[in-house]
Amino acid sequence: MKHNWIVLLATLLLIAGVLAGCGNSEKAEGSKVDTTNTQAAGDAEASPDKQEEQEADAQDATDEHTTRVIAHQAGETQISGTPERVVVMEYGLLGSVLALDVQPIGYADDERISTLEELGFLEQMGDYTPVGTRQQPNLEVIRTLKPDLIIGDYARHAEVYEQLSDIAPTILLPDTKATYDDALDNHLIIGEALGKREEAEAALQAHQQLLEETVKLLPADKSYAIVALGDAVFNIRTNNFFQPSMLEGAGLNYALIDDQGETSIKASIEQMLEIDPDVMFVTHPEQLEQWEGDPLFAQLKAVQTEQVYPVLHSKWSFARSIPGADVVLEELQQLAPSIQ
């Protein structure tokens, strides 16, 4: 009997031990589940940052491989990613490229840098390779630069468009004969080509505000003309030229209207007297001394009222771009107190 009692007691202790072991196992598993849930919660809290990082990486990859079609005067050109090796071949187009914080690797600088210095471009450009003249760019030099984008002037470079396109994606835009509206379009097209459309649009908004502010400072009842003085003739810009078309479009009275699309007209002093603007902005002002002794020149209204203003030919002729227009507008604001 005693032996049976001992066996029963041992059996009960064994069962109790097994039950205790199961309980500890469940607790351990419960702890493990709790830890896993805590870690999952931590991952969930970190996931927005990780998701943003993944989205940014995906966007960078998309930008790098995005192909867009750029329409321009010579046709349509496909451009992939963000161009980094850009060749430019005209001053106005260069102004837009630099304004969008892109330094070209090559530029057709006509084998002189004086105009680039006057326009304030040289210090922005850094190191670049000259690629010939604007009229005749050196295609072989351009090829050695291995550009990923070429930007040229349609009037000058249409004949070599195919050769340029064989080297790199090429867009041709109006510059030599560009109107103000052309320059507005050019800036947006260049911005799109460079992957900087938003920056280009912001520049146009700032420019429009500057234009409106400037026009308010100038007398609306006066007529204006931009004239390049020569030895025996006046090279008068028409309302089709870049700066005049900007002023006329803003509501000012430009003195020389041409319906044939000409951007400049050569005139004798007698013809100049027929146009007779109230205010003259004179490029090549070094010629003024020669004309000041001419009795017919002295009969011009602008001369009689001291409304002849010397300006730099490069800034008032070559810089056919939105940044170039801003330079002219800033100068007009400085001159405004004297214009009457």
For 97-134, the pLDDT digits (tens) are 999 999 999 999 998 899 999 998 998 998 999 999 99
Q: With a cut of 50, say whether residue 20 has pLDDT above it.
A: no
Nearest to residue 188, comparing CAs of 179, 198, 178, 180?
A: 198
Indicate the pLDDT class of residue 220, thresholds 50, 70 and 90.
very high
Indicate the pLDDT class of residue 54, thresholds 50, 70 and 90.
low
Any idea which residue has 């050109």 for tokens?
A: 77
Task: Output the pLDDT for position 48.
Answer: 56
Task: Output the pLDDT for position 84.
Answer: 95
Instruction: Count H helices and E strands in the chain, helices first.
Output: 15, 13
Backbone dihedral angles phi then psi of residue 18, each to the nearest 5 degrees: -65, -45
* Mean of all residue pLDDT scores within the chain: 85
Torsion of CA 337, 183, 157, 86, to 10 degrees: 100
Q: With a cut of 90, say whether residue 216 has pLDDT above it.
A: yes
Q: With a cut of 80, say whether residue 40 has pLDDT above it.
A: no
Displacement of CA 118 from its chain's centroid (Å): 20
Indicate the pLDDT class of residue 289, thresholds 50, 70 and 90.
confident
Task: Output the pLDDT for position 42.
Answer: 43
Mean pLDDT calculated for residue range 325-335: 96
Indicate the pLDDT class of residue 319, thresholds 50, 70 and 90.
confident
Q: What share of the chain is helix, strand, coil (3-state, %, to 5)?
A: 55, 15, 30
Task: Output the pLDDT for position 112.
Answer: 87
> Cα(77)–Cα(315) distance, rounded to whole angstroms?
30
Q: Which residue has the higher pLDDT, 32 or 133?
A: 133
Indicate the pLDDT class of residue 334, thresholds 50, 70 and 90.
very high
Indicate the pLDDT class of residue 215, thresholds 50, 70 and 90.
very high
Mode of pairing for the β-strands spanning 106-107 and 129-130: parallel
Tens of pLDDT along 128-169? 999 999 999 999 999 999 999 999 999 999 999 999 999 999
> Cα(296)–Cα(53) distance, rounded to whole angstroms?
73
Task: Output the pLDDT for position 45.
Answer: 47
- Percentage of residues of the chain with pLDDT beyond 70: 81
Q: Write down all domains in the chain, each with its CATH number in brackets.
A: 67-209 (3.40.50.1980), 218-338 (3.40.50.1980)
Q: With a cut of 80, say whether residue 7 has pLDDT above it.
A: no
Q: With a cut of 60, say whether residue 36 has pLDDT above it.
A: no
Nearest 5°: CA angle at 97, between 227 and 112? 60
Indicate the pLDDT class of residue 31, thresholds 50, 70 and 90.
very low
| Residue at 113: amino acid letter | I
| Residue at 184: amino acid letter | L
